[in-house]
Every structure is written in C-alpha cells, then in structure tokens.
Chain A
Amino acid sequence: MTAPAIEIKDVQKSFGNISIIRDLNLSVTQGERHALIGPNGAGKSTTFNLITGYIAPTSGTVKLRGEVISGLRPYQINRRGLSRSFQVTNVFANMSVWENLRCAVLWTAGHRYSFWKNIDHLPEVRDRTAEILADIGLATRRDVPAGLLTYAEQRALEIGITVAGGADVILLDEPTAGMSHAETERAVTLIRRLTEGRTLMIVEHDMSVVFGLADRISVLVYGHVIATGTPDQIRSDPKVREAYLGEEAA
C-alpha cells in the first residue's frame, strides 16, 4: 500500500493561549483531488501553513509520502515535491511574467544558486517555462511586469508558479476567490488540466467548484476535521449540514 500523499496526525497549533488547530487528523491519498472546506476562521489557511512549513505545529506530525516534514523549512518541503499557491496573490511584482515562471522552474531544473551560467542559455529551462506560459494562457502577456496584470491574470500566474517546479503535490489556497463566474470556469479548467496525474489539495469557498472538482472533501470546523468523504457523502452528512453547509447543500 502506498503512503498517503499528505498525512496530518494529531496536530495542534496554538498562538499564545488561543488554540487554532485541535487534534487535526487528515489524510490525502496520492493522485486524488481533495478539497478542504469550512466556515471563515475554521483554520483552513492555517492548515496549509502547517503543511507547507510556513508555521510549525505545536505538537503532532505532518508527513509527505510517509516522510515527516513538520519542522522543516518551506523551501526544504518544496524541494521534496510539494508546492502551494496563496490566497492573496503572491508573485514577483516587478519582474515580467516570463521571469516569474522561470524563477519557479530553476530549482527543479537543477540550476540552484549557479552564478556561472547564462540564464538565457538554458534550453530545458526555456522549454519548461514556455510550456507553463502557454498552459496558463499568458503567452501574449509574456513581458508585462506581474504587478501590472489584471487580477484574473495574476491568479493564473499564481497557479503557473505553483505548478512550474513540477511538484507532484499541489496545494491551492482559494484559487478562484474574487473571480467572476466566467473567470472561475476558466480557472477550474486550468486547474484540472495542470494538476492531471498529481495530488491536489484545495481550499475553496465556491461550492460549485468544490463539488465539481474534488474526489473527496474534508470539512474543517474550529480547527478540527468533522467529516471526510466523497462529495455525495459530505452532502448527506447530517453533522456537516448542521455545522456548515446549511441551506447551500440542500
């Protein structure tokens, strides 16, 4: 049996006296698309921060494909094949779209801190960057500084940067937040295509996105997973209906 892509075991996180995450247990199978939902302040982003090493758990462990990663730094976790996007757009604002994507490709391409190679003469980096650029549909905006893109374009770039390094576990934090209906549809198609064959974990408020995209859903309330299951199971779970979904799922 293969180890789960992500396994969170008995994780606690408190800031001072306030406990944000309590007895968090969550398992994401390799290759599945797993959505994490819950009301505002339930600790969804905190969970992402715990998985990606942005903050360390107070107690408990996080495993990536069976390896303990809790306590590692974000870049160490990223190098093990886990990548994330951010709820608030988090790109390299003064650099062009091309440079943004290229920076995301460099480490996995093995160029690391190299200061003796001309960056324009790395064919595999060029190919990979071009591939991602075409994938996210920003080819015509290649030389525009990321800070000057429209909101939807920045979100697409955000996803592009996240997947460019070739990580096989992808975490997306509200990728469609603030988008129009049409933009959301395009974003979902993009996510579906780019995460094909990889493990995806997604935090999302838009329930049509969640139920359309996810293989399994976990419901987080007050830092605790109250239910995990297929969209149908979640829809009919009385605890979930009571705690969170209410009218929406009916």
Chain B
Amino acid sequence: MTELASRVAPPYPPLSERIKFYGLWAGAVLLLLVLPRLFSSGSALTTFSLIGISIIFSLSYNILLGQTGLLSFGHAVYYGLGGFLAIHAINMIGANKLPIPLPFVPLIGGMTGLFFAVLLGWVSTQRSGTAFAMISLGVAELIASSALILRTFFGGEAGISANRTKLIRLFDWNFGPQIQIYYLVAAWTLIAIVAMYALTRTPFGRMCNAVRDNPERVQFVGYDPHVIRYLAFCFAGFFAGIAGALAAINFEIANAAYLGAAQSGTVLFSTYIGGVGYFIGPIVGAIFVTVLSLSLSDLTSVWQLYFGLFFIAVVTFAPGGITGLLMMHRPLIKGGALGTVLPYYLISLVPTLAMIAGLVLGIETLVHHTVNPGEDPNIRAFGINFNVSSPLTWLAALVLIVGGFFVARKTWIRLAQAWDEALTAAREKGHST
C-alpha cells in the first residue's frame, strides 16, 4: 500500500523546497530584527507596531472569512474585549505587584477573546451565510453599546488607561520606549503567524475549507459543520484578543472605538483587499491598509472616502485582492511572458492615472467647497495651486474623469488581449499555475 501511496500521493517536498520554506521564515525573523535599524524614528516604529497588530487581527479574521467562509461584521468585539481585559490586567498586576511581566499580557487578551467567542459563538455559528453575518452584527452592536453604558468596566467615552511600565521587568526592559514595544509586537506577530499557518495545515484546518466549499457534503463525510464553524470562531476570537491586547499595550488605553463597527469594518477591508484566498493575503492587506490609512489621513480629511472607493474597486475588479492579482502573474513570470504584457500595463497606466487624478481633483474641490465654504478658495496639492471656486478647475476634473475613462477603457481592452495571448504562450510552455 505504501508503494501505491508513493506512486500516486503528492510527493513529500524535496529538501530544497523545505530549505526554501524554512528560509522564508528565517528571512521574516531577520527582517523583523533589522527593520528598526533601518527605520529608527519613533513614528516608523509606531507604524511597524500598528502593522504587526493589524496583521494578527486580519489573519484571525481570515480564519473566518477565507478559511471557513464566514462573513463576520463584528470581529472587533473579540479584539476590543481582549484590549480592555489587557488594560485591566496591567492595572491589576501593577497594583498588586503580581509576578507577571508585560510580554505575557497579550495571552490574557487572547484568553478573553477565546472566552467570549466560546460564549457567543455557539448560537451564531449554527448557520453560515446571511444568518451568521446578521447575528455577528447584532452581537457587535450589543457589545459596542454596552461599552458606553457599563462605565465602570469600559470607562465610557474616555475609555480606560494604564501604565505599562509599572510591571515587573523582563531582561531589564520596562517597555516604556517604543522600540521595546516594537520587539514585543514583532515577537507576538511572528508567534501568531506561525500558529495560524500551522492551523491551516491540520485536519481541522482542511475541514474548515471543506465547510466553506460545501457544508452539506461535510455532513456526509462524518463531520458536523456547526462544530467546525464554532471551533474556527473560537480560534479567530483567540487571535483577535491577542491583537487587541497588543493594541491596548501600544496605546496604553482601551476605549469603545476598539470594539465598534468601524473597527470590524477595517479588518474586513484589510483582509479582503489583501486577498482572502491566500494565507499571505491578510498580511499584505494589513500592511497596505495600515500604511495607506496613516499616510492618507495626513493628506486629506476624506481619506475614508478614498478607502471606500478603493474597496469597491477591489471587490469589482480584483475579487482575489492584491495577492490574487499578483498570483495571476505567476504563470506569466514562470513562462517568461511578463515582458510582453508590461508595455501594455505602462500604456494603460497613463489614462488610468489621469482618470484617478480627475476624480481626486473633483472630490477635493467639492469637499473644500462644502466643508470649508468660507475659507480661501486657493488650495495647493502636488505642488500645484488650484482655485476651487474657479469653473476651470471643475471643468478640468470633468475632462480628466470622462476623457481618462474613455481612453483608459480602450487601453484596458488592449491589455486584456495582450494578457490572454501571453497566458496562452505561457501555457504552451507548460506553466499553467
């Protein structure tokens, strides 16, 4: 029998593949160690910490959405509760001089997320699809509004704060400086990524995929899809709790915004934009969305509007997310046909950018006019001065949008043709995946 297995079963990965696999993880560790040396400013370290937190949170969300096919509108509940418990834990440990150093506090957050997922998940995971989505939304609203009502625990509008430096020290670190928080977040991010990746490679992880694809059939191979959904929900709650606790440690505060709808929406955004079909997708999404939201919010007051537009564009044109888009090019790269497509990309980039520029111009002038009507109509963007009251500006925006769209559409069609040809060429060389 083993003879048959060795003939028809997927071969065990050869040594070179395994070296590559572990090399990738080693590379990730190295990168995390080197990053603060390359970018040592306080704001860069804060950004890295936020990215790490967002990676854990998004990956935990993808256990639900990508792996098990559960669309949740209330994942921030477990993130937020993890954060609140972490703050309370820090205060309690500090006040009672308990021998628990700060690096173990995220585990308390994780256990909190797990506890509430165990408590609230059984009912909501009875069904998938719309029923699950609606229940998750209801639970999220319930917890978020309790956060404003139960003041002693949640601290009302102001939230609850803590001082992370008062705990017993580990390696003589008091976790005051951001660099120490960075290493703390980096270590937990690495642990969480490894754990969640390992989870996808277990019998349970595989059955999650089966439940996503076909819950009906799962019942006829001996599994209760409800139990699988419930377990997936508990794991997602656990890792979300860790992420929430790290956020609370980073900001030294937890407030109602942690468990609100906006937070649940953000994690859905990052995960989906990154790509739910690949393990690495949410990591890409978390990095992209965190960096973009931090930089966009510096540039414009309506950055969330741009986010919404971008999200719609991804859902419509690239349902596989950024990772899905990149993965589409794998057969082309392997077949050496990327070069034939590249010029078409560059050509279509010009009118597409023109269209986007027109859109931005239109939005910004409109915002300036409606939000700050009394102010000086002259604004400066990308080093160019605009008069937002001038009809010329409006006309320019309109021309860019409409003209850009019509030209861009033509180049997109050309690009698609070039794509198909390149793909056929690559397939003929035997690179189908």
- Choice from A92, A142, A143 contacting B213 with Cβ under 8 Å: A92
Assess whether B203 is in contact with A112, with CB atoms less than 8 Å apart. Answer: yes
- Choice from A83, A92, A106, A131 contacting B203 with Cβ under 8 Å: A106
Contacts of B202 in A (CB 8 A): 114-119
The CA of A86 and the CA of B218, in the complex, are separated in Å by: 13
Assess whether A103 is in contact with B8, with CB atoms less than 8 Å apart. Answer: no
B383 interfacial contact with A, CB 8 Å: no
B210 interfacial contact with A, CB 8 Å: yes
What is the CB-to-nearest-CB distance from B202 to chain A, in angstroms, rounded to a whole number?
Answer: 5
The CA of A225 and the CA of B221, in the complex, are separated in Å by: 29
Closest to B206 in A: A119
Assess whether A107 is in contact with B222, with CB atoms less than 8 Å apart. Answer: yes
B38 interfacial contact with A, CB 8 Å: no
With A92-B214, A95-B213, A98-B10 given, is the CB distance from A83 to B220 under 8 Å? Answer: yes
B199 interfacial contact with A, CB 8 Å: yes
B228 interfacial contact with A, CB 8 Å: yes
Q: Kindly supply a per-residue 1/0 record for chain A positions 12-25, scoring 1 wherever the CB is within 8 Å of any chain B CB and 0 otherwise.
A: 00000000000000
Contacts of B214 in A (CB 8 A): 90-93
What is the CB-to-nearest-CB distance from A52 to chain B, in angstroms, rounded to a whole number?
Answer: 7
Assess whether B2 is in contact with A119, with CB atoms less than 8 Å apart. Answer: no
The CA of A118 and the CA of B420, in the complex, are separated in Å by: 38
With A75-B223, A119-B202 given, is the CB distance from A113 to B10 under 8 Å? Answer: no
Contacts of A75 in B (CB 8 A): 218-220, 222-224
With A98-B10, A127-B5, A130-B5 given, is the CB distance from A78 to B199 under 8 Å? Answer: no
Assess whether B204 is in contact with A161, with CB atoms less than 8 Å apart. Answer: no
What is the CB-to-nearest-CB distance from B218 to chain A, in angstroms, rounded to a whole number?
Answer: 8
B265 interfacial contact with A, CB 8 Å: no
Assess whether A92 is in contact with B205, with CB atoms less than 8 Å apart. Answer: no
With A78-B222, A94-B209 given, is the CB distance from A127 to B2 under 8 Å? Answer: yes
- Choice from A74, A116, A142, A161 contacting B219 with Cβ under 8 Å: A74
Contacts of A123 in B (CB 8 A): 2, 5
Q: Kindly supply a per-residue 1/0 record for chain A positions 161-191, scoring 1 wherever the CB is within 8 Å of any chain B CB and 0 otherwise.
A: 1101100000000000000000000000000
With A93-B213, A127-B4, A130-B9 given, is the CB distance from A78 to B203 under 8 Å? Answer: no
Size class of the B contact interface (CB-based, 8 Å) = 35 or more
The CA of A98 and the CA of B10, in the complex, are separated in Å by: 8
What is the CB-to-nearest-CB distance from A205 to chain B, in angstroms, rounded to a whole number?
Answer: 22
The CA of A67 and the CA of B357, in the complex, are separated in Å by: 72
- Best-buried of A117, A126, A130 by chain B (most CB within 10 Å): A130
What is the CB-to-nearest-CB distance from B209 to chain A, in angstroms, rounded to a whole number?
Answer: 6
Assess whether A78 is in contact with B206, with CB atoms less than 8 Å apart. Answer: no
Q: Kindly supply a per-residue 1/0 record for chain B positions 193-232, scoring 1 wherever the CB is within 8 Å of any chain A CB and 0 otherwise.
A: 0000011011111110110111011111111100110010
Contacts of A73 in B (CB 8 A): 219, 224
Q: Kindly supply a per-residue 1/0 record for chain A positions 79-108, scoring 1 wherever the CB is within 8 Å of any chain B CB and 0 otherwise.
A: 100011010001111110011001110111
The CA of A53 and the CA of B203, in the complex, are separated in Å by: 25
B1 interfacial contact with A, CB 8 Å: yes
The CA of A106 and the CA of B209, in the complex, are separated in Å by: 14
Assess whether B227 is in contact with A119, with CB atoms less than 8 Å apart. Answer: no
The CA of A64 and the CA of B16, in the complex, are separated in Å by: 51
- Choice from B217, B227, B228 contacting A92 with Cβ under 8 Å: B217
Contacts of A104 in B (CB 8 A): 221
Interchain residue pairs with CB less than 8 A apart (24): A75-B220, A75-B223, A78-B221, A92-B209, A92-B214, A94-B213, A95-B209, A95-B213, A98-B10, A103-B218, A103-B221, A113-B203, A114-B203, A115-B235, A119-B201, A119-B203, A122-B203, A126-B5, A127-B4, A129-B9, A139-B7, A142-B8, A162-B220, A165-B221
B positions within 8 Å CB-CB of A: 1-2, 4-5, 7-10, 12, 198-199, 201-207, 209-210, 212-214, 216-224, 227-228, 231, 235
Q: Which 7 A-B pairs give the minimum distances between C-beta atoms?
A: A107-B222, A115-B204, A74-B219, A130-B5, A92-B213, A111-B203, A130-B9
A positions within 8 Å CB-CB of B: 52, 73-75, 78-79, 83-84, 86, 90-95, 98-99, 102-104, 106-108, 111-120, 122-123, 126-127, 129-131, 133-134, 139, 142-143, 161-162, 164-165
Other contacts beyond A99-B206, A164-B221: 20, CB < 8 A? A73-B219, A75-B223, A75-B224, A78-B222, A92-B213, A93-B213, A94-B212, A99-B209, A103-B207, A106-B221, A107-B223, A113-B203, A113-B228, A115-B235, A117-B202, A117-B203, A120-B12, A130-B1, A131-B5, A142-B8
